[in-house]
Structure 1
Amino acid sequence: MQETRFRRMHEAVMSGNMPNGGGPRKVISASWRRSLEAGIHPEVRAAPLVYDAGDIGDARSAHPLNEVLPLLNHTLLQIADEAAHIMVVADADGHILWRDGHREVLQRADTIGLAAGFAWSEEAVGTNGIGTALATGRPTPVYSAEHLIRVLHHWSCVGSPIIDPDTGSVLGCVDISGTTKSLPPATVALVGAAAQLAESHLALRMRESDERIRSRHQSRLRASGLLVTPSGRVISGLGGERLTLPVASDRMVLPDGRAARVESLGDAYLIMPFGVSEPPRLRLTLLGSERPHAELDGAHVPLSLRHAEILALLASHPRGLTAEQLSFLLYGDEGNPVTIRAEIHRLRAQLSGAVAAKPYRLVGEVESDVLSVRRALSTGDLATITRLYQGPLLPRSESPALRRERDELDARVRSELLARGSIDDLWTFAQTPTGHDDGEILEHIITKTSPNDHRHAAARVRLSADT
């Protein structure tokens, strides 16, 4: 009865005469109007092909819905097959990427292009569950003669769009179709629920990605700064907001009217309002290298030995040192504070904003391989010790204070590794200048490795060379 009413309604509307019972549902009449304006003729026999067999695989693997396909299959496919229906998944343009379900229905679907690689937008085949759901942005059933083209009058379908939680745009559509006059209300609800389940899965993955991005760039964040995804979502700062990022500029205006600088971090953007003092970030590499260096806000800065010595002492004395104190620590009683003041003047010019005066001290975020190894020694973190300890502290330095610090650090690292280190830890230490010819370290390596181990042989060669 309902199918007959749909057919009469379709014929009346197509002929320009509204039936006495009124027109189709508003969502259908609006879809018919869009379809006719797009030039769709009711006698179209099948959907157009947009992907050939060689391209569909690439389209599938590149699409975000590829990740949720197993979930959609688990939720809908068995039900669709048992009800003599098929499940279809299309992209945001209505191009079908996947389908599965009842075998006989799949065969009938082939005759109308309801198959992978074919276009099912309203602009391609008129009103249908896939295209109309994409056009309306909500779950939409389309029954028999509600389809604009007559060849689909033997079909009923319900499609639901899947929204990208990152961008808020439509990713695609999941659809159940069958050669029936209508679909049970439970099927309509189930398709909508499956789409929401897919969105929840994508949202979880998005939040996990956000957390990795925040963790990766935590050192760059400031109280006034914003961390923004490439899609414009603010994930640190003004949570929940979305910004329109500039296309070809490193400047933008925030919603509150403040001008800000935009810096690309690769997988995110750092947005820092102008006029906000941003503390410098200083990282010192002082262990084992004949060429010590600093990184100031990510920029590599080579250091002379004297500047490296000053920075090493200031890093060890976070409250600061006077010129007289620095002079004594560097040169002993023979030191000259005037020389120190001249060196720090040049150092402050090289590391703009990172060295303060009265007393001389490091400001902002300060990190160094020396400080990191010290912390690792206090917590027994052998992995960090072996990774960061590359040799003695400023090996060319003759500063009395730094020589004491160097000897103490070497002894503590050596003692910790001999007491608790694995063979890998000991071998890593043996590659440093400190451990290369250390007899006790080499004997431990020999004891803990088999004669066939290359480390065993190398340790024996080094020991024999020392005797």
Structure 2
Amino acid sequence: MAERPESDLLRDPESYARLLQRVRDAVLTGVPSPRSPRSVVSESWERSLAARVDPEQGEAPLVFERAELNDLRAGHPLAAVLPLLRETLVSIAEDAEHMMVVTDADGLVLWREGATGVLLRADSLSLAEGTRWSEEATGTNAMGTALATGEPVQIYSAEHLVRRYHNWTCAAAPVRDPDTGALLGSIDVTGPLRTVHPAMLALVTASAQLAEGRLRAQLAVRDEKMRRANMRHLEALRGRPGALLSAGGRVLATEACLLPSTVEVRRGGGTVTLPDGRIATVDPLDEGFLLRVATTGAAPRRRLLLEYLTDGAGSTTVDGRDIPFTLRHAELLTLLALHPRGLSAEQLALQLYGESGNPVTVRAEIHRLRTQLGTGVVQTRPYRLAADLDADFLRARTALRRGDAGAAARCFRGPLLPGSESPAILEERESITAQVRRLVLNSDAPENLWSFWETSCGADDVEVLDALCAALDHTDPRLAVARAHRARLR
């Protein structure tokens, strides 16, 4: 449910705008505020400021010249519903001195139509086709915030983070792909403050729902054409288990088998492991795939290796193959490894982001992670690891429980995901580091102390250096190195 501006806006828009200005300035300068901003606004301000948007001098960046947009527009899924949006929104926007704006999923303005006077005023504010209005680029605004939260939102006056947009009001709603659930973009209605209308948010929300309905109807037509064109391939299986899949992996028709609603497939097809462990072969067809389920043999479990206790970049390995990974994906894998029974999207959002976590963001990240790792590694409902897991931080935990200082020191090559600011990861990082340090110090073993001292956590730790110098034999060449470093610290 979208969080609406308060009724004060409609009773006295100008006074409400002045109040919002005082609230914004107080929050940004750290002085007591006359009231708190709406939560959707304050959370957006935090994201925008973290992206280094300048509240006083910020401006939407021009990413593409208008002449360069033609190919992007032609290939974008929302082009198919643009006539519907024009019928629904543009005439109303023109009458109300507003304009309609349609963006892609990254906040890039693809289309902009409406009252001529408003379009000219918008040009002076860089609200034009080819500019980017994501929160990271332009700060809090209806288009960017709707894309960030996945919910409809109205932003009024000084609720915009950037000062130059305080004379405008806007409402936007996200549009999702009915095939994959992924964000396609946003639909926005924008105008000057004096033209604010109570129905603006409801209007864009209804328009987004109409657009998704039209896309869903078009998808159903494509699905039926695909079934008719390729049913012969399914029939050729002669009763053996199989299915027709859409290009996105949705199951359109089955033969002699039960399947989930969607199967994760690679573009070129190949072998996949189904959630219940069965092996299937996926063959490309026109506009989709033919899936053939193997009737014998059990699926081998995937092997997942996580090496995240390191001062370096760490590594993620699946079946012996290094997988490029982002910090966010490493955080997700770490949390799932620490919770073998699984976590919901809401629980993951809380552990990743704290109270401001958004389950929608987590679901999108999990989808990307499962696509990257392939099938059989991360399962859903709840999210959990299904592969045979080996993680250095879990080995370190086991060693700590046993009091095995040597094993703990060998596992510990640096702090757990040092770049992470996730509350749960931070707590685990500090816990492992502190426990390994204390266990190594208590052991008095030079090899354990040297191993810990070589990490960033121990390099400038005087207590560790004192213990190391005391433990090393006077003939050990490492003693001179340790003593020299201790002298520099002191």
For 1:396-407, list aligned pairs within 5 A: none
Aligned residue for 2:113, secondary structure, equals: strand
Q: Deviations over 1:353-372 (max 9, x none)?
A: xxxxxxxxxxxxxxxxxxxx
Q: Does the 8 Å CA contact 2:278/2:293 hold for their aligned counterparts?
A: yes
When normalised by structure 2's length, the TM-score is: 0.54
Alignment root-mean-square deviation, CA: 1.7
Q: Structure 1 CA distance, aligned partners of 2:60 and 2:203?
A: 26
Are 2:238 and 1:225 equivalent residues in the alignment?
no
For 1:151-300, list aligned pairs within 5 A: 151-180=164-193, 183-221=196-234, 222=237, 224-237=241-254, 241-246=261-266, 250-275=270-295
Q: Deviations over 1:243-271 (max 9, x none)?
A: 21146662111122211111111321111
Are 2:112 and 1:92 equivalent residues in the alignment?
no
* AA of the residue aligned to 1:105: V
1:10 paired residue among 10, 17, 24:
24
Q: Structure 2 CA distance, aligned partners of 1:218 and 1:168?
A: 26
For 1:434-445, list aligned pairs within 5 A: none
Counterpart residue number, 1:117: 130
Counterpart residue number, 2:143: 130
Q: Structure 1 CA distance, aligned partners of 2:269 and 2:144?
A: 37
Q: Sort the Cα spacing of 1:173 and 1:207 in 2 relative to 1 into closer, same or farther, 3 A.
A: same
Are 2:81 and 1:68 equivalent residues in the alignment?
yes
1:53 is displaced (CA, Å) by 2.8
2:120 paired residue among 107, 113, 123:
107
In structure 1, stretches of 5+ residues that fail to align are 277-467
Q: Structure 1 CA distance, aligned partners of 2:227 and 2:80?
A: 23
Q: Deviations over 1:154-207 (max 9, x none)?
A: 000001111110111011111000111573231210100001101000100100
Counterpart residue number, 1:82: 95
When normalised by structure 1's length, the TM-score is: 0.57
* AA of the residue aligned to 2:69: I
Moved over 6 A (4+): none
Q: Structure 1 CA distance, aligned partners of 2:269 and 2:104?
A: 32
* AA of the residue aligned to 1:121: S
Q: Structure 2 CA distance, aligned partners of 1:181 and 1:30?
A: 26
2:55 paired residue among 42, 47, 62:
42
* AA of the residue aligned to 1:70: P
Q: Which has the larger radius of gyration?
A: 1
Counterpart residue number, 1:58: 71
Q: Structure 2 CA distance, aligned partners of 1:33 and 1:260?
A: 46
Counterpart residue number, 2:33: 19
1:20 is displaced (CA, Å) by 3.9
Q: Structure 2 CA distance, aligned partners of 1:91 and 1:196?
A: 16
Q: Does the 8 Å CA contact 1:3/1:181 hold for their aligned counterparts?
A: no
Q: Structure 1 CA distance, aligned partners of 2:124 and 2:263?
A: 46
Q: Structure 1 CA distance, aligned partners of 2:93 and 2:267?
A: 45
Number of aligned residue pairs: 275
Name the % identity: 44
Q: Does the 8 Å CA contact 1:32/1:148 hold for their aligned counterparts?
A: yes
* AA of the residue aligned to 2:287: D
Aligned residue for 1:148, secondary structure, equals: coil
In structure 2, stretches of 5+ residues that fail to align are 1-14, 297-490
Q: Sort the Cα spacing of 1:239 and 1:158 in 2 relative to 1 into closer, same or farther, 3 A.
A: farther
Aligned residue for 2:133, secondary structure, equals: coil
